[in-house]
Amino acid sequence: MRILRFVEDWTVVLSFLAIVVITFVNVLSRFVFRASLSFTEELTINLLVVLTMSGAVVALRTGTHLGFDLLLEKSRGKLHTVMVLASGLVVVLFLLVLLVFGGEMLLAQAERGRATPSLGIPQWLFTMAIPLTGLFGIIHAVEAVVTSLRGAGSRQDTHVPAEVPGALADEDPLTVGGTGPAGGSTTSIGGSTGSDGGTSRKGGEGK
């Protein structure tokens, strides 16, 4: 999985860097040298598709996609499991559509030899981002479902039960403000009634 993360992260970085450099050079050429580099537009558009698809996969892996998870966080037990599985199934189905139809588009473009209009770059090189997004996204979606189910199970296992009212009877009988075994109040600083009914004071005089 480390190799997969490396490919995803660097695809995002390099595509974004290429878009920034190409756009800057085009703007500089247009306003300084009065010459527009129109052929760079197709590179920017195609790289933007690659950046969007790769960024979606990274966001799916890190769990940073926008979502409404109030009901999911409040649910417990079987309801939580059903909601996690249902949401994961919807995501996997959507990514499966990208994988299947994106793969068909890639094969069709490769068979026909379709290329970009200005630079003549094979179009399937950019279209490859669509089925790869579906494939990598399915892997991360399954990982997210498994992690969510394990997290829900660990929360239930570490649940601390409510305190039993009678549990205080096992505490130290000399606790300040507590009740001694003989039914009388324990001694404390500032004066209180001892177990024999007398009164004791710090620095004062007992019975």
Q: What is the pLDDT of residue 63?
A: 85
Q: Name the band, by pLDDT with cuts 50, 70 and 90, for residue 189.
A: very low
Q: What is the pLDDT of residue 151?
A: 75
Name the CA dihedral angle for 58, 64, 70, 72, rounded to a multiple of 10 degrees: 20
- The rounded mean pLDDT for the chain is 78
Residue 119 neighbours by CB under 8 Å, 6+ apart: 39, 42, 43
Q: What is the pLDDT of residue 173?
A: 44
101-146 tens-digit pLDDT: 999 999 999 999 999 888 889 999 999 999 999 999 999 999 999 9
Distance (Å, whole) CA 9 – CA 64: 14
Distance (Å, whole) CA 158 – CA 152: 10
Backbone angles phi, psi at 32, to 5 degrees: -105, -50
Question: What are the angstrom distances between the C-alpha of 47 and each of 13, 31, 41, 43, 127?
Answer: 11, 23, 10, 6, 10
Three-state DSSP class for residue 63: coil
| Model pTM score | 0.67
34-59 tens-digit pLDDT: 877 878 888 999 999 999 999 999 99
